């Protein structure tokens, strides 16, 4: 099993540029999550999808952030325009509500380390 | 106040020691509870679920007190490989997880 795949693994960009982070969840999983982790704020839930539909985006910091899930095997998190305070590790995770060994267990991707200069 | 609070540590213990982590949560409607482990510069991974009756997995024991909204993790006979950050996680509803900031553990020879 390939696990959750994220790309790119590292991204360095200048303030004002558009950044797009990509995620491929585990095949068959019906939930997909985007998190952001910083030393100051820890791991924060930004948005999650169920069956490709956004369920809760209350964690999205502001209008500069947007997320889409056009199909069950792909999601993007876009930041436009990016700012230095967006520098963080962004994790994508997926889960299967029913049928797994642990209800609600989330499987995380390796993360994208974003640096905005 | 954060929804899930943990002592950030760090906890520095010798091999073979017993160490306990605590966590409190504020949402009384929370439905399920977990401990995740995160190694340095890696992604979080599920360590164990936490059940009301308490549960054990080898050297690890998790306890839940719903009345006090308190969760604990006990590690016995610590190994060097236990060095990591331990994240307390609370599921509000419908797979909406809230993570604590984590407690860092370093086990020394």
How far is residue B39 CA from its own chain's centroid? 13
Q: What percent of chain B has pLDDT over 90?
A: 75
Say yes or no for a CB contact (<8 Å) between A103 and B32.
yes
Contact between residue B47 and residue B99 where contact means Cβ atoms under 8 Å apart: no
A42 touches chain B (CB under 8 A): yes
Backbone φ and ψ of A25, nearest 5°? -75, 170
Burial class (CB in 10 A: 0-12, 13-18, 19+), A100: middle
Strand locations in chain A, DSSP E? 5-7, 10-13, 19-24, 31-38, 42-50, 53-56, 65-71, 74-79, 88-95, 107-108, 112-116
Q: Is the pLDDT of residue B45 over 80?
A: yes
Find the residue in A nearest to B48 (Cα): A102
Confidence of residue A16 (pLDDT cuts 50, 70, 90): very high
Confidence of residue B30 (pLDDT cuts 50, 70, 90): confident
CB burial of B40-74 (b: ≥16 within 10 Å; e: otherwise) equals eeebbebbbbbeeeeeeeeebbbbbeeeebebbbe
Nearest by CB to B96, from A56, A103, A108: name it: A56
B87 touches chain A (CB under 8 A): yes
Instruction: Give pLDDT, residue B99.
Output: 92
Contact between residue A20 and residue A77 where contact means Cβ atoms under 8 Å apart: yes
In terms of Cα–Cα distance, which of B80, B81, B84, B76 is closest to B103?
A: B84
Q: What would the mean pLDDT of A78-101 be, rounded to a whole number?
A: 87
């Amino acid at each position: 099993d390939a696990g959750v795949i994220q790309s790119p693994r590292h991204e360095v960009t200048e303030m004002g540029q558009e950044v797009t982070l990509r995620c491929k969840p585990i095949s068959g999983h019906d939930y997909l999550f985007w998190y952001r982790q910083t030393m100051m704020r820890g791991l924060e839930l930004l948005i999650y999808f169920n069956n490709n539909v956004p369920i809760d985006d209350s964690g999205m910091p502001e209008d500069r952030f947007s997320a889409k899930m056009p199909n069950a095997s792909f999601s993007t998190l876009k930041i436009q325009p990016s700012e230095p305070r967006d520098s963080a590790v962004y994790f994508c995770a997926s889960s299967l509500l029913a049928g797994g060994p642990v209800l609600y267990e989330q499987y995380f991707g390796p993360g994208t380390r974003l640096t905005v200069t | 106040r954060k929804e899930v609070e943990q002592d950030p540590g760090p906890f520095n213990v010798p091999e073979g020691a017993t160490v306990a982590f605590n966590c409190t949560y504020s949402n009384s409607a929370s439905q399920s509870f977990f401990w995740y482990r995160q190694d340095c510069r890696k992604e979080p991974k599920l360590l164990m679920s936490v059940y009301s009756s308490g549960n054990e997995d080898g050297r690890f024991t998790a306890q839940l007190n719903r009345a006090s909204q308190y969760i604990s993790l006990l590690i016995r006979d610590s190994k060097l490989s236990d060095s990591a950050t331990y994240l307390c996680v609370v599921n509000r509803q419908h797979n909406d997880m809230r993570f604590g900031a984590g407690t860092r553990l370093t086990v020394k020879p």
